[in-house]
Structure 1
C-alpha cells in the first residue's frame, strides 16, 4: 500500500527522499543530480527556483554545473514523470529565470485503491507472445498457481501478486516467467530479480507437458520450492558478515544484523582483544577489518561524555578508521552489510566522504530492505543534507520495525529526537517524548539525552542537574565536545547544528559559565559572535 512518507502529486507517488517514485504501477529511479533538483523543487512548491539555486543544488552531485546541464536534467526528470514542457503538470518553465514546481500534493486518503503502489514482497509476471489467447490463458493459470503456492510459504506480512508483463510492480522481487509453445511441451524460462537493482538472483528452465497430458502440480511445486530457496539464500547472503551467526534461523539473523550497526551496541566495545587477535591471524579479511573499525567507533561514542577522549586520541582513532575503511571498499561491493558498515564509518569520521557514504548506503539498502539495518544511517544521511522530514520518515520506519523496548528502538527514537531538534520542531519533539531511563543506555549518556531535549528555558530534572553540577567545568566542557563530535558536526547546515546544541549549551553555561564552550564548537555552529 501507499507508504505514509510518500508525496503524491497527480499520478505520481514520490518517495520523500526522492530515491524513487511510482507511476502507473511502475517504479522510477532518479540519479543523484535528478534527486537534488526534485528535493529543491518539491520542497518549494509554486515558488520560482532560479537557475543559480538549481546549480547550487546539483553542485555536490555533478561536476557539470552549467545552465545547459540544468535544462538537460529538468527535461530528463520531466520525461521520467511523464511531464511536458508545453503543457506541464509538474515542472513549469519561467523562461530566462528558472523553474517552478506547480503540482499540488494529493492527500493520501483521496487516492483510488488501485493506484497505490503494491509495495509487496514478490511480483510474478507472465511473458507471453502477443495475440496468443490460448497460451495467455494457460500462462495465467500457471502463474496463478505459482502465486498461491509461493504465497503460502513466504513469511507473515509478505505478499505475492501477479502483475502484467508491461508492469514493474513496486515489490522487493519480481519473478518473470516467459512462455513459449513448443508443441509437445510448454517451454518456460523463469528469472528472479531484485526490483531496485535488477540483479538476477536465479534463472532456470521450466517445462510443462502439453495441455491435458499430465498434472502441472509437480513442476509448479518444484519451481515454487526453487524460488523460495533462492529468496531465502538471498536474504541470508544479505545478512552475512560482521559476526552474524550463520547457524541460526533467518529471522534471528536479520534481527542480529539490524542491531550490529546500532551506535550504542556495547558488543563492539567488548570485543577489542578478540578482534585484534583475529586481524593478526587474517589481515586480508575486510570483514574482520570493518569489525575492528566498529570497535574503534564504539570507543569513540560509548566513552563517558564527561571524562571524554583527548583530541589527539580521537584524531588517531578516526584516521585509522578512515584508512582501513577506504582500503576495504573494493572488497565489500558484493556484501551489503559490509557496505553499510563502511558507509556508517565514513559518515561518522566526517572527512569529506558524505557522497561516498550515501552511494554505499543506498546501494546496500536495495538488498537489505527486508530488515532495518540501513534505516538509522539513511536517516542520518538525509539529516546531514538538511532533509529532516525524510530523516524522520526513516527513523519512524525503523521504530515500527523494531522490537518493543529494544536497544534498537531506543536508538531510533534518540536519532529522531536529534533530527527534530535540528529541524527546530519543538512541538513534534514534545510529542515524541520518551523515557530517558533505559537499561540499554549508560547513566551518563541518559543524562546527556535529557539535557539535549529539554528546552533552554525549562528546568532540568533534579537528578540531571545534580549530575551536571558534579561533572564540574571540565566535565561540562568535555560533554559539549563529545556531543558536537558524535552527533552534530556531520550536518552541513550551521543553523541546524546550532539548534541541536542550543539546549545543551544553555543548561551547561548557566551552571558553569560561558568559558566551558570549546571555540571550535562556537565556530562549527555559527555561534562565535553570540556566545
Structure 2
C-alpha cells in the first residue's frame, strides 16, 4: 500500500515532496510548490488571495511580488496536468486569487516530524447547531499556528493520532488539544498546548466566539497569543539547560544546527551558505524582537520580557552583526542604550533567578559602561546557585576568560561541552566561547582541536571560524582562502564586529589584541594595513603597530 494521499487520481506524498500519477510517474516539487500546494489543499473550495499564498511561500527577507504567484500556480498546473480553462484542481478567480476544487484530503496527514499536531478536538457534540463554527475554528488553527510560529514550521490537523511511542525520534514537538463547550448560549474553546512526548502542559488559553468574530480571525488571534506563551516558556524553561540566548534562538529556529551536509561543498559555496544563514539569523532576531515588544506592549512591567528583549538585541550582533555593518546599518549606540535601560529595570526582579541573573551580568559587562564589578559579582553569584549546569558553565567560562582567568574559564567551558548534546546550538555556543578563551590567551596550538570539532558541528561554521581561530603566521590554506573570498567591505565588517562582540570585552588589552590577531593579520595581508577600520585600530594600537 502506497504511503500517499489520493486526490482525483493524483497522489501527493505526505510531506508534499512529490506527485505520483496514475501511470506511476513521480514528479518532484520545489519548496515553493510544496508550500503552495499544501496551503491550497488544506482549504478546499475556499478562495485564497495571491497575498495569502505569497505569505505561505516566501522566505524571510525575500523580495515579495504577487505576480510570482501566477507563475508558481502555472507550474503546479503543468505538474498536475491541469487545464486552466477547464480545471480539475486549481481554479482561477480573476482579480481575486485561486481555489482548490479537487476533492478534499481523505487520508491522515503526515504527523511524523511535525512541529505541532492538533491531536484532539473534544466537545464538538456540545455545540449542537453551532458545530460548524467549532469545526471551522479547529480546521483554521493549524495554518494560524504556522503563521504565528514562522520559520517554515509545519502544523498538521490529526485528531486521534498515535502517541509519542509510535513515532520515536520523529515525534512532533508540540500537541494542541481543543475542548469546546457552551455556557449560557456562548461558545467557548480552551486550547491547551503540550509537549508531545511528555504530555507536560506548556500553555493554555480560552477563546470565545461572541460578537460574530470570523473563525479564521479568531484562530489567528489565539494562535499569536498562545504561541507567544509557548515560545517564552520553551525559551526559558530550566529543563533545557542552555544559556538563554541559545534557548531564545532554538525556540524559533529549532534545536539542530543546519548545513552539516555541506562538508564536501566548495569554499565559495559554503561562504554563500554562511551569508544566507546570517540573513536567516537576522530574520529570526527581527521575529524575536517583534514578539518580545508585543509582550511588553501588553505588560509593560514584565521584567523577564525586558531581559529577554535585551538578550535578543545583543544576539543580533553575535549572530549577524557583520551583515548589518555590510549593509551600512550601525545602531550600536541606540541598542546599547536600550539594553542598559532594559537590564537595569529588570535587575531587581531577576536577581533571584540564576539563569536570568547570569545573563543580566553578561549584558552589563558587554556594555562597558562602568558595570564590570557588578557584572562579575552577578554572574558568580548566579552560577553558584544555578540548577542549569551546562548553560551556566558556558556563560561563567566566558566571563572568566574575559577577566583573564583562562584555566578556570577553560575548565568550565570544557564541562559545558561535555554536558551539551553533540551538534546542538548549545554545543556550538560553547565551542565558540572556548575558541575565544584560547585565542585571548594566545594558545594557538590548542585552537586546532576547536577548529576540528567545529567542522564536526557544521562545516559552514567551521569554515567561517578558520580565519578567526587561525595560528598567526601559520594560517591554514582554508583560512587564507576565506579571506581571499571576502570583499573588502565584508572583511572590514567582520573585523569591526569581532572587536565589538569579543576583543574589546577582555580586561587585559593584550588578550583583546590576541583575540583579533589571526583575523587582523590575514586582513592586512589581503587588503593592507591602511584598510584597517579606524575604530579597531584605535582600540588596539599596539597590535596594528606590530602588524605594520
| Structure-1-length-normalised TM-score | 0.49
Between Structure 1 and Structure 2, which shows a larger proportion of helix residues?
2
